[in-house]
Amino acid sequence: MPELPEVETVRRGLEPAMAGEVIARAEIRRPDLRWPFPEGMAERLAGARIDTLGRRSKYLLLHLDRGETLIVHLGMSGRMVVEETQLGRFRRETSRLERHDHVVLHMASGTRVVFNDPRRFGAMDLIATERLAEHWLLSRLGPEPLGNAFDEDHLVAAFRGRMTPVKSALLDQRIVAGLGNIYVCEALHRARIAPARKAGRIAAHRVRALVPVIRATLDEAIAAGGSSLRDYRQADGALGYFQHGFRVYDREGVPCVTEGCDGIVQRFTQSGRSTFHCPRCQR
């Protein structure tokens, strides 16, 4: 599933083609994705101008001039791809719609934005912008890891007394929004914290040091266009490149890259997910 860096990369890729532009027509090619589309979605989108494109956790937010916001979740395999007709060229190889192109936003500028989702775990919903924070997908989310509300004091307080593994705590979207399996594994390795350690038993100074490590990991991933392991693509169809810089994720059996460490990356399962770590330098 795309994590924060992938969704933020998609947002930045869509912004030049969508921000300030009018949706001339919305083509809804099936009744649902993971859940049914909102009632009258095509009519509510047609003629609306997209004022700004935002992101909350792993959700794209298209704020419309009509006082509504379109929430987009990419799910496991969803992509939003920009096709441009200027000079008769398209960013994708062909302008013909494909089998899994489920929603097509025809912009007044001539650009077409296509939501493609082979596995149909994605979702879209419309809600009044003033009530956005109340939406059931967003209402219980914690602070953004790149925002001011996510600071050392917040994480220390959130971990205090918590006997769940630190990796599970960081995956809890109520503590910090947008982190997923890849970037938690990577950040914990950089911070040299064992993923199975109980969050409440990590010294406060180590928890504080984890905050800038998380931020740096995400910043680097965004700069690299995210991580492409299976389905993820940027808005122009390009792959992300952060996977080439993984330190531990998906590197089982490979020597640890930490300077002076002679450990070997290992994998074990936590809550049904693969955890990658170096048992030598992560404690």
Task: Give the orientation angle of helix 204-223 with respect to helix 181-191, to 10 degrees.
Answer: 130
Quick one: average pLDDT of 184-191? Answer: 97
Same domain, 158 and 115: no
Q: Which pLDDT band, with edges at 50, 70 and 90, does 271 fall under?
A: confident
Residue 72 counted as domain residue:
yes
Percentage of the chain modeled with pLDDT above 70: 90
What number is the average pLDDT over the span 148-157? 97
Q: Are residues 81 and 197 in the same domain?
A: no
CATH of the domain at 161: 1.10.8.50
Residue 31 forms part of a structural domain: yes
The predicted model gives 184-200 an average pLDDT of 98
Say yes or no: 16 and 112 in one domain. yes
Each residue's pLDDT tens digit, 49-69: 999 999 999 999 999 999 999
Structurally, the chain folds into a number of domains equal to 2
The residues assigned a catalytic role are 2-3, 58, 273
- The reply to whether 139 falls in a domain is no
What pLDDT was estimated at residue 242? 76
What is the rounded CA–CA span in Å between residue 171 and residue 225? 21
The pLDDT score that the predictor gives to residue 85 is 57
- Is 50 exceeded by the pLDDT of residue 87? no
Contact 253, 269 (CB under 8 A): no
94 and 158 housed in the same domain: no
Does residue 89 have a pLDDT over 70? no
Tokens of 57: 């956790």
Q: Is residue 143 part of a domain?
A: no
Of 65, 60, 54, whose CA–CA distance to 75 is shortest? 60
Domain that holds residue 47: 4-134
Where residue 21 sits, what CATH number does that domain have? 3.20.190.10
Q: Is 144 a domain residue?
A: no
- For the whole model, what pTM was predicted? 0.90
